[in-house]
Every structure is written in C-alpha cells, then in structure tokens.
C-alpha cells in the first residue's frame, strides 16, 4: 500500500489538468490492484471490494478518455499494474483506499468545473462519480 | 411464481361457470330482470353457446398454428397431437356452423351483456376470452405478421407441451358445454323451451363438441399430457412485471423472498427483451457489463450464505438428506461466485467504445444484490458497502418453520436462474460487440512496443478470449448451481419448480425428475362417468326407477343398441354413409343414442358423424376453407330441413 501514498501525494500536488489526469489514472490503477488483492469471500468486506473493483476500472476508463491526458511516460506503464500490495487487513486497507478515492473524487470534481474542453469536463465528472462510489463502498464519506 | 393473474385462475372460473350453464333460467334470473321469455330460452342459450364456441375457435386456431407445423419434423407424439389439433379445429368449426350467430351479436365475445338464460355461458366465454388475451400479452405481432416475444413466458406459451395442455383444456370445455347444451336441447326434465329446429341445431352442435373431446381424449390416452404441463399452462401469468422496488428496513422473510423473485424476474425480462443492439447501441458499455458482473459475484456470494444457512436449518430439523443437498448447492453457488468474479476482473482490463450508460438489466442487478443481501444478513439495512461487521442471519430466523424452507429455496433458485440467463445473454452481447470491433483497452495498459496515438486501442485477441472464457465459465457454473437448486426446489415443491418445467417445455424435453409426470386426467380430475344416460336408461329415470339392477340392465341395452348401430354403419356402402349429423339425430331417440355414444368418447362413435351442411344463412366468411370443401362434397343435402321436435 506504500505506493498509494506516492499516488496520493501526486494527486495532492498536481497542478494543471494534464498532471491531475495523469495522477488520477495512476490512482485508479493502483486502487484497482489493491482492491483486487482484497476480494476475499471469507471476509465481510467481500461485496464492497468486488463492487469497488468495477468502479475503479470504470473510473480509470473515464480518465483515459480525457483528451488532455498526456501520453504514457516512458517506462511502460503496463508493468506498474502488478505492484505488490501490502499485507494490511481488509478494514485498514479499505480506510486508506476510501481516503484516496475521496481525494480523487474531490480533485476530479474541481477539475470538471475548470474552463477545459467538453471531453475533459465529461471525463472528469464521470471519473469523479466512480471515485465517489469507491469511497462510499469502502466506508468513506464522499464530499457532496 | 408471481403474484399476478394467471391463466389458470381464469380457466378455473370459466369451468365453474360451465358447470352452472344448465341451471334453468328462473333460478339464474333472480336479480337479472327482465327474465327471458320461456319460448326463447333455447335460442338464448344457443346465442351463449355460439359466443363460447367462437372463443374456442380462437384457441383452436392458435393451437393448430403451433402443433400442426410440428408434425412434419417430429413424428410420434407431435404427429398425434398435430392430427388431433386439426380434428379439433374442424370439429369446433362444425359446431359453430350449427349455432346461428344472432344478428345483434356483432360485439366481441369478451364484451357481453349477461342475460339469464345464457348467463353462465356468457360469463365462461368472457373469462376464456380474457384468458386468450392473457396468453397473447406475451407476444407482439408486426404488420408483416412476424411474431415477437415480449416476455420470458412467450416461448412457454407457444411450446408444444403447453399447447397440448391447452388442447386438453379445450376438450374439457367442449365436453362440459356439450353435456349442458344437449341436456337442454333434448326432451326431459332438464329441457328448456324452444322450437324443435332450435333444439335440433343446438344438439347437433353439442355432438360436434363431443367429437372434439373424443379426439383429444384419444390423443391423451396414447401420448398423455402430464400434470406438470397442465400446471405450467395454468401458471402462465399476464405479461406485466412487478414494479421496481428496493427493500425497506422492516421486511419479513416472506416479503424479502417475494422481492427477490420479483427483482430476478425483472432482470430476466430486461436481459432477454430489452437488449441493446451490440453492434452499435451506446447502451452496451463496459461500465454496464462490469457492474452486472460485480453484482453477479455479490448475488452468488449472498446465495451461497443463504444455502449454508438453509443447510444448517435442515440439520436442526433432522433432515440430513436435505442438509447434504443444500450444502452441495452452496458449493455450486461458490463455484458460480468464482466464475462471476473472473468475469468482473476480466473487465478491469477492458473498455468499450461508449461510456456512461448503464443498461436496464445491469441497473436492476444492484437491486437483486440488495434483496439477497437483506435475506442473507442479519442487518435489516445491509448494503454491499463496507460498514460495521455484517453477521449473517441465523438459520432459525431464516426458516423458523420447516415450510419456510421452500420459500427461501425458491428465492435462491430464481436468483440463480436469473444469473444463468444473464451470463448467457451477456456472453452473446460481448461476442457480438467483439465482432463489431467495439471492445477496446486503454492504450496505457499496452506494452511500450505499441505506438498508438489514441487513448484506447482495439482489444488484443487474448484479452477478448479471456473475457469470453470468463463469461462462459460464469454461465456454466451458474447453470450448474441452478440445476442443483432446482432439484431441491422440486423435492420441496417450492413454487420455483415451475422454472424447471418451463425450461424443459421450451427445450423440447421433460424434467428429469418424476414430479408431475403422471398423465393429466383431462385437466380437472378423473374422467367422469358418462353424464348422459342412453335413451332406455333415461326413460327409466324419468319413470322414477331407482333400482340399480334395473338401471344397469337399461344401460346394457343402450350399449348393445349403440354397438349394433356402429357395426351396421361399418357395413354400409360409402354412398349410404353420406348422412349428415342432423339427419341422424332427427328423432329424439337416435339423438339421445348418438349423444350417449359421443359422451362416452367411443372413438368409433365419431366415425358415424359427417361434417355439417352449414345453415343457408351462414355467410361465406364464416365458413372455413375446409368446411367449404366438405360442403361441396355433400351439397346435395343443403335443402333438407331438420325435422321439428315437439316442445318439451
């Protein structure tokens, strides 16, 4: 989960729409990896993580459709999908992911109001909705 | 299976009316002023009979449309019933030809003014017309005649087994109506007032109704319709779904089960009927399909919990066999959950060319996840969201009474049946979307060697294959879970066992289990003893004779007379047998004898009848092509007037 902290820092400090979208894409990807690792039917959080996984993938796809998303930086982002996930219990991991998705929803909602192109605004709004959904599913309180 | 009006309810009410049909008008007329004039009683009854027979011709046409074409491809059983459907259609048309449509009766049989003499018949006609309409709510017909399914029941309605059950029903209605009509038409204590010609025409129409019943009973003897198939026909509901709703926090187990069933049915309808065109519809999105797959995972998981709970409860109730069966079902549910999770995860690497839309079926999957979750967990406000610990519902509260087990099993069965259908439907959609090049992947998710200057790229074949394989697995495992639960549902006589029978009916087979495989007894019980005594026996009844031995002797004499007539008919030259039914029934004695032969469903008896000469006033449009052919053959008798009978 340490990579989540890095992504969180990138989100907090991203300036400009391209940088924010770039950080948001990576945030959804990292959340997806962490969520998938915790889809364990023996825990009471199984349903929440399963539903959150679908939302994370859809959020990532929404960001990917934004015209201002910069091309992938060199280094083959496909490799980053298989980062090791931490050994935190499901509830603790859920709390970290809920906090990240809350921040993500907030930043994307702000971005959807910026004077950008329609494609970017729609992409940000859709992605923000999915981030808010993840936040709710994992026990967080998305900002209205 | 549903809380809606069913075909069986309408048919049961119609049957009850047909039992009342021969009660004399004065008894029925109370509260229906003005009373029918005595002289017009038979005429009015005949009008009612005509309306009833008209409705029956609608059914006969539908039955023939389904069964007759099947004969060319499937011999044996289907051929027998196909032949019977044609015989039935001809017989009902012959009966209609003897029932003069009254000039004032231009309206539809379902829109009737109930009058005393024909009240029960009119009521039966109206109920059966409503039943006909109910069956037709499941299809739509395009201007070019193409028939479209409008519900998941549509293939059931037109399946051969259910259509054969409908023909069995038609035979029953014909028998009931014939018995009542003939009792009224012929002299005797039950006779009503009317002219000889009116009574003769009515009696002859009744004879053709008996011919219909006789043909149906012959088919039933050789290739019986089963109790289960009749039950399936009766269970067909009107095509209207329960409104979409989500569970409240104060639901009972019963209402949660019903909510689960309603929700499951709504999803099946959406998945089968409200299908977006996968080649171009913007409603087909990764968002929608991945949401449905995630819900499928949660629903499977909830059902697995429920099945474990039921197994524990069965053990508490000292039903070890049932407990073992339910544990096996829970294992199958776990496998289905794995399959759906694979499908959900496959979408995490995929996208589609449209976004932002959730299809109706996917949207309603959230509801089913919620309904099953409220059943499975103790928290009455359970949602899939993470919250305080979610203890599962205790086994004894899930099914406090042994009889409650079947309700929960039915809910789980419906849920898995839906998941099975949903996985199949989504697999088809995805395959078609892939064919149309609509499956994509984010370019960023591809290795560096791909240089694609766009946010999305066509999905590599290995990812498409992986996605389709995952859905195939979800469909197979859901079907296996459905099959396992269906066995339990059948054993427990859970309402959902009809799903299995319906599936068998539409796939051309019969359920593997024994339930309901016994032959149906003409749909409403054992074949009754002949409702019509022969003329000698009837005369003794009229004289007040009650001695069983004497009445038995009279019955034997009637039977000997019938055999003599039948044997004599067989030895006649072809030109001599060219007699019309009305001619054979010209005297009361022979009419009674023929009625008795037909009412006992002697397969030989109907051989002495010949198609009718439609009354001169019959318009060309009311005579079928087949009747016209017969008319041309026997047209020389057109001018013969039936001999008038005296007023009773």
Contact B477, B338 (CB under 8 A): yes
Contact B33, B129 (CB under 8 A): no
**Given pLDDT bands bounded at 50, 70 and 90, which one contains residue B627?**
very low
Residue identified by tokens 């030989």 is B604
Is any Cβ of chain A less than 8 angstroms from the Cβ of B594?
A: no
Considering the domain boundaries, does residue A123 fall inside one?
A: yes
Same structural domain, B299 and B395:
yes
Is any Cβ of chain B less than 8 angstroms from the Cβ of A136?
A: yes
| CB contact (8 A) between residue B386 and residue A138 | yes
With 80 as the cut, is the pLDDT of residue B312 above it? yes
Same structural domain, B340 and B471:
yes
Considering the domain boundaries, does residue B579 fall inside one?
A: no
SS (H, E, C) B551-566: HHHHHHHHHHHHHHHH
**Interval B37-45 mean pLDDT:** 69
**Given pLDDT bands bounded at 50, 70 and 90, which one contains residue B335?**
very high
Residue B201 has a pLDDT of: 85
Long-range contact pairs involving B525-532 (C-beta distance under 8 Å, separation at least 24)? B527/B217, B527/B601, B530/B596, B530/B599, B530/B600, B531/B179, B531/B183, B531/B599, B532/B179, B532/B182, B532/B183, B532/B592, B532/B595, B532/B596, B532/B599
Range of the domain at A105: 2-70+101-139
Nearest residue on chain B to A95, alpha-carbon basis: B386
The shortest C-alpha distance from A76 to chain B (Å) reads: 5
**Given pLDDT bands bounded at 50, 70 and 90, which one contains residue B513?**
low
DSSP result, B42-57: HHHHHHHHHHHHHHHH
Instruction: Answer with the one of B507, B539, B556 that is the final residue of a domain.
Output: B507
Contact B459, B350 (CB under 8 A): yes
What are B456's strand-pairing partners? Answer: B442
Residue B364 has a pLDDT of: 94
Lowest mean pLDDT among B73-82, B213-222, B256-265, B321-330: B73-82
**Given pLDDT bands bounded at 50, 70 and 90, which one contains residue B514?**
low
| Residue B445 DSSP symbol | G
Considering the domain boundaries, does residue B491 fall inside one?
A: yes
Q: Higher confidence at residue A58 or residue B556?
A: A58
| CB contact (8 A) between residue A94 and residue B298 | no
Residue B30 has a pLDDT of: 45
Lowest mean pLDDT among A51-55, B69-73, B88-92, B385-389: B69-73
With 80 as the cut, is the pLDDT of residue A61 above it? yes
Instruction: Kindly state the tokens that stand for A66.
Output: 């934004």
- Tell me: the pLDDT tens digits for A87-136? 778 888 999 999 999 999 999 999 887 777 889 999 999 999 999 999 99
Mapped onto helix, strand or coil, the DSSP state of residue A83 is coil
Instruction: Kindly state the tokens that stand for B199.
Output: 């009574």
* CB < 8 Å to A99, chain B: none
**Interface mutation target, options A44, A59, A61, A119, chain B, most CBs of B under 10 Å:** A61
The shortest C-alpha distance from A136 to chain B (Å) reads: 7
Instruction: Answer with the one of B474, B507, B540 that is the final residue of a domain.
Output: B507
> How far is B118 from B330, CA to CA, in rounded Å?
57
| CB contact (8 A) between residue A61 and residue B347 | no
With 80 as the cut, is the pLDDT of residue B110 above it? no
- Tell me: the pLDDT tens digits for B397-443? 999 988 899 999 999 999 999 999 999 999 999 999 999 999 999 88
What are B440's strand-pairing partners? Answer: B351, B458
For chain B, what percent of residues have pLDDT higher than 70? 75
Is any Cβ of chain A less than 8 angstroms from the Cβ of B374?
A: no
Considering the domain boundaries, does residue A91 fall inside one?
A: no
Considering the domain boundaries, does residue B541 fall inside one?
A: no
Range of the domain at B104: 7-225+612-647
The shortest C-alpha distance from B454 to chain A (Å) reads: 9
Domain count, chain B: 2
Q: Is B112 left (phi over 0), alpha (psi -120 to 50) or beta?
A: beta
Residue B527 has a pLDDT of: 47
Instruction: Kindly state the tokens that stand for B610.
Output: 């010949």
Is any Cβ of chain B less than 8 angstroms from the Cβ of A80?
A: no
Domain count, chain A: 1
H/E segment holding residue B351: strand B351-352
Nearest to A45 among B286, B356, B386 (CB): B386
Q: Angle at Cα B131 formed by Cα B95 and Cα B55, nearest 5°? A: 20
Considering the domain boundaries, does residue A85 fall inside one?
A: no
Lowest mean pLDDT among A63-72, B298-307, B322-331, B627-636: B627-636
What are B351's strand-pairing partners? Answer: B440
Backbone angles phi, psi at B204, to 5 degrees: -65, -40
**Interface mutation target, options B385, B463, B470, B474, chain A, most CBs of A under 10 Å:** B385
Same structural domain, B316 and B406:
yes
> How far is B135 from B63, CA to CA, in rounded Å?
12
- Sequence length of chain B is 648
In chain A, what is the straight-line distance between the N-terminal and C-terminal CA atoms, in Å?
27
Nearest residue on chain A to B370, alpha-carbon basis: A47
Considering the domain boundaries, does residue B135 fall inside one?
A: yes
Considering the domain boundaries, does residue B247 fall inside one?
A: no
**Interface mutation target, options A22, A24, A38, A57, chain B, most CBs of B under 10 Å:** A57
Count A/B contacts: CB-CB distance under 8 Å: 106
> How far, in Å, are B612, B624, B634 from residue B629 at the CA level?
11, 9, 9
* B181 C-beta neighbours (distance < 10 Å), count: 31
The shortest C-alpha distance from B495 to chain A (Å) reads: 29
Considering the domain boundaries, does residue A126 fall inside one?
A: yes
Alpha-carbon dihedral sign for residues B496, B497, B498, B501: positive
What are B352's strand-pairing partners? Answer: B439
**Interval B364-376 mean pLDDT:** 96
Contact B116, B35 (CB under 8 A): yes
Contact A53, A22 (CB under 8 A): no
With 80 as the cut, is the pLDDT of residue B473 above it? yes
Nearest to A53 among B344, B369, B448 (CB): B344
> How far is B313 from B326, CA to CA, in rounded Å?
10
Contacts of A13 (CB under 8 A, 6+ apart): none
Q: Higher confidence at residue B572 or residue B544?
A: B544
Is any Cβ of chain B less than 8 angstroms from the Cβ of A43?
A: no
* CB < 8 Å to B301, chain A: 41, 46-47, 50
Same structural domain, B219 and B265:
no
Residue B619 has a pLDDT of: 40
| CB contact (8 A) between residue B389 and residue A44 | yes
Is any Cβ of chain A less than 8 angstroms from the Cβ of B358?
A: no
What are B147's strand-pairing partners? Answer: B141
* CB < 8 Å to A139, chain B: 385-387
With 90 as the cut, is the pLDDT of residue B356 above it? no
Considering the domain boundaries, does residue A83 fall inside one?
A: no
The shortest C-alpha distance from A31 to chain B (Å) reads: 11
The shortest C-alpha distance from A59 to chain B (Å) reads: 9
- Tell me: the pLDDT tens digits for B242-254? 889 989 888 899 9
**Interval B290-309 mean pLDDT:** 98
Is any Cβ of chain B less than 8 angstroms from the Cβ of A99?
A: no
Q: Angle at Cα B62 formed by Cα B58 and Cα B64, nearest 5°? A: 115
**Interval B288-304 mean pLDDT:** 97
**Given pLDDT bands bounded at 50, 70 and 90, which one contains residue B610?**
low
Mean pLDDT rounded to a whole number for chain B: 81
> How far is B329 from B408, CA to CA, in rounded Å?
13
| CB contact (8 A) between residue A74 and residue B448 | yes
Same structural domain, B127 and B274:
no
Same structural domain, B78 and B211:
yes
Instruction: Answer with the one of B507, B540, B569 that is the final residue of a domain.
Output: B507
With 90 as the cut, is the pLDDT of residue B633 above it? no
**Given pLDDT bands bounded at 50, 70 and 90, which one contains residue B167?**
very high
Considering the domain boundaries, does residue A110 fall inside one?
A: yes
Considering the domain boundaries, does residue A21 fall inside one?
A: yes
Contact B115, B76 (CB under 8 A): no
* CB < 8 Å to A138, chain B: 385-386
Considering the domain boundaries, does residue A112 fall inside one?
A: yes
With 50 as the cut, is the pLDDT of residue B178 above it? yes
* CB < 8 Å to A81, chain B: 445
In chain B, what is the straight-line distance between the N-terminal and C-terminal CA atoms, in Å?
51
With 80 as the cut, is the pLDDT of residue A78 above it? no
Same structural domain, B381 and B444:
yes
| Residue B352 DSSP symbol | E
Residue B606 has a pLDDT of: 66
Residue B562 has a pLDDT of: 73
């Amino acid at each position: 989960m340490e990579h989540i902290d890095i992504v969180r820092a990138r989100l907090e400090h991203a300036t400009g729409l391209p940088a924010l979208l770039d950080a948001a894409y990576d945030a959804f990807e990292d959340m997806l990896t962490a969520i998938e690792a915790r889809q364990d039917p023996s825990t009471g959080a199984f349903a929440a993580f399963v539903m959150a996984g679908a939302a994370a993938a859809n959020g990532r796809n929404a960001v990917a459709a934004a015209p201002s998303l910069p091309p992938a930086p060199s280094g083959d982002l496909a490799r980053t999908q298989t980062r090791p996930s931490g050994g935190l219990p499901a509830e603790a991991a859920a709390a970290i992911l809920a906090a990240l998705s809350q921040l993500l929803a907030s930043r994307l909602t702000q971005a959807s109001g910026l004077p950008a192109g329609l494609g970017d605004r729609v992409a940000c709004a859709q992605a923000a909705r999915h981030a808010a959904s993840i936040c709710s599913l994992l026990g967080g309180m998305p900002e209205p | 299976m549903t809380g809606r009006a069913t075909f069986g309810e309408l048919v049961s009410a119609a049957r009850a009316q047909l039992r009342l049909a021969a009660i004399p008008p004065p008894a029925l007329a109370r509260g229906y002023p003005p009373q029918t004039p005595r002289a017009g009683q038979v005429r009015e009854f005949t009008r009612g009979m005509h309306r009833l027979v008209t409705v029956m011709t609608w059914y006969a046409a539908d039955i023939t449309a389904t069964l007759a074409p099947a004969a060319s491809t499937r011999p044996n059983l289907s051929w027998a019933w196909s032949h019977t459907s044609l015989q039935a259609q001809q017989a009902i048309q012959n009966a209609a030809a003897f029932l003069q449509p009254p000039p004032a009766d231009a309206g539809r049989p379902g829109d009737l003014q109930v009058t005393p003499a024909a009240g029960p018949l009119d009521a039966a006609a109206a109920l059966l017309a409503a039943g006909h309409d109910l069956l037709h709510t499941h299809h739509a017909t395009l201007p070019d005649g193409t028939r479209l399914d409008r519900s998941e029941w549509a293939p059931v309605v037109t399946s051969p087994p259910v259509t054969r059950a409908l023909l069995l029903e038609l035979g029953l209605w014909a028998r009931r109506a014939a018995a009542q009509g003939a009792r009224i038409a012929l002299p005797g204590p039950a006779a009503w007032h009317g002219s000889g010609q009116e009574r003769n025409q009515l009696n002859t129409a009744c004879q053709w109704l008996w011919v219909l019943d006789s043909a149906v009973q012959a088919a039933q003897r050789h290739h019986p319709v089963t109790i289960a198939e009749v039950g399936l026909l009766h269970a067909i509901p009107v095509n209207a779904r329960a409104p979409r709703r989500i569970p409240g926090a104060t639901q009972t187990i019963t209402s949660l089960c019903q909510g689960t069933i309603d929700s499951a049915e709504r999803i099946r309808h959406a998945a089968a009927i409200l299908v977006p065109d996968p080649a171009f519809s913007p409603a087909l999105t990764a968002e929608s399909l991945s949401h449905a797959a995630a819900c499928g995972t949660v629903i499977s998981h909830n059902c697995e919990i429920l099945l474990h709970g039921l197994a524990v409860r069965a053990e508490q109730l000292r039903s070890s066999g049932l407990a073992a069966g339910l544990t096996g079902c829970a294992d199958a549910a776990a496998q289905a959950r794995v399959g759906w999770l694979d499908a959900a995860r496959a979408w995490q690497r995929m996208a589609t060319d449209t976004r932002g839309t959730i299809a109706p079926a996917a949207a309603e999957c959230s509801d089913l996840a919620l309904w099953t979750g409220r059943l499975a967990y103790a928290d009455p406000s359970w949602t899939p969201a993470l919250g305080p610990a979610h203890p599962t519902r205790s086994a004894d509260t899930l099914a406090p009474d042994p009889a409650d087990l079947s309700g929960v099993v039915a809910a789980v069965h419906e849920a898995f049946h839906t998941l099975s259908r949903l996985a199949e439907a989504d697999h088809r959609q995805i395959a078609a979307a892939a064919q149309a090049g609509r499956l994509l992947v984010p370019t960023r998710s591809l290795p560096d060697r791909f240089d694609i200057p766009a946010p999305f790229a066509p999905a590599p074949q290995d990812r498409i294959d992986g996605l389709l394989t995952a859905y195939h697995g979800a469909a197979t495992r859901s079907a296996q879970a459905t099959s396992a639960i269906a066995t339990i549902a059948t054993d427990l006589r859970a309402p959902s066992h009809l799903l299995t029978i319906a599936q068998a009916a539409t796939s051309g087979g019969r359920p593997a289990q024994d339930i309901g495989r016994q032959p149906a007894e003409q749909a409403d019980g054992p074949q009754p003893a002949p409702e019509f005594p022969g003329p000698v026996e009837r005369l003794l009844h009229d004289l007040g004779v009650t001695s069983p031995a004497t009445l038995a002797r009279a019955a034997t004499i009637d039977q000997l007379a019938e055999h003599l007539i039948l044997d004599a008919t067989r030895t006649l030259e072809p030109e001599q047998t060219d007699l019309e039914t009305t001619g054979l029934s010209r005297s009361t004695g022979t009419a009674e004898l023929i009625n008795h032969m037909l009412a006992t469903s002697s397969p030989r008896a109907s051989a002495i009848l010949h198609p009718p000469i439609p009354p001169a006033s019959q318009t060309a449009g009311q005579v079928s092509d087949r009747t016209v052919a017969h008319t041309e053959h026997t047209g020389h008798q057109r001018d013969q007037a039936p001999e008038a009978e005296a007023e009773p």
